[in-house]
Structure 1
């Protein structure tokens, strides 16, 4: 119960603070967050629509600060754009028996083509008694959406950012 209350409080704080980023107009994102490449995820991951849910949840929780700007690539659009790509994803049916499910995204915020921020976020779900493959990824998408909205309050540029960084590396705790 306490975790649920803390989660709700964190979500409300993140939502309340986001509109400041929209001072120069809303941030545009793709309607479906794409996978970085064909090697990301498995057949289980690709049967789920969690990447569409991720985009929708970011828009919903941003309270107007983020809007869908294009179906695919927003990098060439004018104004504020946030390119998000899924760089790692894993799921399997079986709840906690089949181990953790995770998603990792990398994102790049631009204002009229100039990079104003970039970041990497990873979330893990290990919910017991959820036997579907897609259910845990939906929870991962919800958590990632909250993280994106919170990061948009104070974006920063990581000089070591790379779209390809650690794509091939094993996830911590899975070796």
Structure 2
């Protein structure tokens, strides 16, 4: 999926991916014509991306860990590489789809709200790192696998609540 500039029509998918990967709220600026896009990437968008990426990466990481600890055969290595490639493309096109379709908030996707960019970025990056560490700790020990799935379920529930609150705050903003 490609995202094109509203003004010149050239691709800006790399800039969209960069903002999502850095957990940075704001508008995308076209590198060709320097036009600022109407679509605003808010904290709610970043939370959805955060949830999607954290769950995907942790599940792929745990699957690969168990595949590599199983009987070492060529098809297992091919499957492990395939999982990494699938995760890469899911994340690459997931942010572009989230940017274009604005799931859960298509009516307010262009609304600009007052957010502290550095605070949002630092908070989401720290939460992502902590989640991945805890998921790896639970997911790589066979006796802790049930806790890994409980962690994923609790994380999804908390993120859904956070996204709903963020969208409600965006709808209630005066700006």
User: TM-score with structure 2 length normalisation?
Assistant: 0.35
- Larger strand proportion of the pair: 1
Which of the pair has the greater relative contact order for Cα pairs under 8 Å at 6+ separation? Answer: 2
1 or 2, which has the higher helix percentage?
A: 2
Q: Which has the larger radius of gyration?
A: 2
